[in-house]
Amino acid sequence: MVSAQVVKIIGRTGIYGEVIQVMCKILEGENKGRVIRRNIRSPVQENDIIDLREAEREARPLTR
């Protein structure tokens, strides 16, 4: 598990809008300081700390 801080909320995705895409900054491990895009299924706000199972994968950007 890797801790990350939510930096920016990009938008909602999923068929029913149940997934939130965020930019998050990795706080520990070999990727410390890296900012990646992830899809989060639970309610989040900016500056929340989340636990990621892994920090290598990044979500595809939302299309408008």
| Ranges of each domain in the chain | 2-52
| Three-class secondary structure of residue 1 per DSSP | coil
What is the assigned CATH class of domain 2-52?
mainly beta
Q: pLDDT tens for residues 6-50? A: 999 999 999 999 999 999 999 998 899 999 999 999 999 999 999
Residue with tokens 């920090």: 55
| Three-class secondary structure of residue 40 per DSSP | strand
| Three-class secondary structure of residue 53 per DSSP | coil
HSE toward the beta carbon, residue 34, CA cutoff 13 A: 15
Q: Indicate the pTM of the whole model.
A: 0.88
What does the alpha-carbon distance between residue 22 and residue 30 come to, in Å, rounded to a whole number? 21
According to DSSP, residue 32 is labeled T
- Please check whether residue 33 is in contact with residue 26, taking contact to mean a CB–CB distance below 8 angstroms: yes
